[in-house]
Amino acid sequence: MRVIEHPTEMQLFSNNIRQTHQSIGFVPTMGYLHQGHISLLDAARQQSDQVVLSIFVNPTQFSPGEDLSVYPKDLPKDLDIAEKAGVDIVFTPTDKDLYGDHYQTYVQLKQLPNYLCGIHRPTHFQGVATVVTKLFNMVKPHVAFFGEKDYQQLAVIRQMVQDLNFDITIIGCPIVRESDGLAMSSRNVYLSKEQRQTALILSQSLYRSQQKVTKGITDAETLINEAKKDIESLPETRIDYVRICNKDTLEDLPEVMMDGLMALAVHVGRTRLIDNRILTREYCTVKA
């Protein structure tokens, strides 16, 4: 495994790989890797000749007052995990590499960022779209892999790739959960033991909503209000949003017809967590 720090070196490596007609699979991350990231690396390993992992905590997707300064980092551990996962290249650029003096170019989508997390984090998806564009131009992948836990992010990137004619295939990979249902996230490390138990209400609310849909309760307002009631009954919870929306456009749905995305963001203590599930009348009996 090789570690590359500078964008020009990364581009040179990718150019050389492309000249040999090998495919490049790319997994962009902010590090502090967990099993969810490993599942993306596994998918990339299966579908690509060369796997590139980037580790970069992107400052432009954090708003003032968010956790940029304390976001968890452990590069030696990440490199060990990456090597065991069969990664070929780990790309670790710096803030200066990606946003030098007088930087002034950003990528902005008009519609998709206006829903869900974008309402509460108005500059977040501009930062995401910008850094992913830059990473795509440096890594030059054929295929890139993103987790479905960050569903809106995945939708934004797919739309951006379509709109800007990137010659890249975007693969969404299923949410990876702990044995008790909690969606894996680097931010889970912030939770105390008690908060960790409270955080289970996210996946439980999604599961209960699917049970209700299966029983014929499909009114979105009813499902949302009952989920909110469950969440707010527990200590240290504060809801950013609970929504049922079109899985492609993210527009609110009045009712779950064949399917619909239920997405939520909840603060447990000082930690903001997100989760989602496709609600469908053709329900799989396996619990989340």
In the residue annotation, 37 being an active-site residue is answered as yes
The model's pLDDT over 188-201, given as tens digits with 9 standing for 90+, comes to 999 999 999 999 99
The model's pLDDT over 89-143, given as tens digits with 9 standing for 90+, comes to 999 999 999 999 999 999 999 999 999 999 999 999 999 999 999 999 999 999 9
Residue 285 pLDDT > 70: no
Instruction: Name which of 54, 137, 56, 57 is nearest 88 in CA terms.
Output: 54
Residue 284 pLDDT > 60: no
Q: Which residue among 37, 102, 124, 267 is the active-site one?
A: 37
Q: Which domains does the chain have, with CATH numbers?
A: 2-173 (3.40.50.620), 186-278 (3.30.1300.10)
Mean pLDDT, rounded, for 179-186: 97
Rounded Cα–Cα distance for residues 30 and 216 (Å): 41
The model's pLDDT over 165-175, given as tens digits with 9 standing for 90+, comes to 999 999 999 99
Q: Are 270 and 235 contacting, i.e. CB atoms less than 8 angstroms apart?
A: no
pTM: 0.95
The single-letter code of the amino acid at 142 is: H
Tell me what pLDDT residue 288 has: 44
Rounded Cα–Cα distance for residues 137 and 186 (Å): 26
Q: What is the DSSP letter of 26?
A: E
Tell me what pLDDT residue 82 has: 98
Q: What is the DSSP letter of 123?
A: T
b/e code 233-247 from CB counts within 10 Å (16+ = b): eeeebeebbbbbbeb
The pLDDT mean for the chain works out to: 96
Tell me what pLDDT residue 134 has: 98
Mean pLDDT, rounded, for 21-38: 98
Comparing 21-25, 133-137, 257-261, 271-275, which segment has the lowest mean pLDDT? 257-261
Q: Which residues pair with 243 in a beta bridge?
A: 263
Q: What is the DSSP letter of 67?
A: S
Tell me what pLDDT residue 4 has: 98
Q: Are 115 and 241 contacting, i.e. CB atoms less than 8 angstroms apart?
A: no
Mean pLDDT, rounded, for 232-236: 97
**Percent of the chain predicted with pLDDT > 90:** 96
The model's confidence at residue 281, banded by pLDDT at 50, 70 and 90, is confident
Mean pLDDT, rounded, for 12-21: 98
More confident position, 282 or 246: 246
